[in-house]
Amino acid sequence: METASEQLGELLEELNVAARIAGGRYDPAQRPVDTLELAQAAAERVEGVEVTGSGGLVEVDVEAVERALAGFASCLRRHGPVESVRIEVAGAELRLVPVTEAAAPVVLGEELRDLGSAVGRTVVEALGGSVEVADASLVVRLPA
């Protein structure tokens, strides 16, 4: 019961953030954080996610970006479908691999079948970052 309650709480938070962004009322609580720490925190939220690389300092809404990265990883596992996802961290750039042909439009939010990914992309872009698929990877660039 606790897990369902936690999932509902996260769903409501994602909807809240998406509505604030869409309504022009998103005032992110940005603070400096190491991207390796962000990736590791996101990986703890999703089973089957490994983190490699070295981080860099970015200034973002930490909780929202952590949820976004976890949402991307979860989407790739579910819609890939793949057993595991790796987040490769290189400074302000994070690459989530693998991205299958089937998962690419879903993880980018072009096919609205995964709320976590759609909101994740919206959050990253609202903070001045970018999200794209390149070379079977989801490339997330955060503002440095």
Per-residue pLDDT of the chain (144 residues; tens, 9 = 90+): 457 888 788 888 888 999 999 999 999 999 999 999 999 999 999 999 999 999 999 999 999 999 999 999 999 999 999 999 999 999 999 999 999 999 999 999 999 999 999 999 999 999 999 999 999 999 999 998
pLDDT at 2: 57
pTM of the model: 0.94
Average pLDDT over the chain, rounded to whole? 95
Q: Domain of residue 55: give its range.
A: 2-141
Domain count, the chain: 1
What is the sign, positive or negative, of the torsion defined by CA atoms of 46, 43, 85, 8? positive
CATH number at residue 103: 3.30.565.10
125 C-beta neighbours (distance < 10 Å), count: 13
Task: For residue 76, give both structure tokens.
Answer: 């790739």
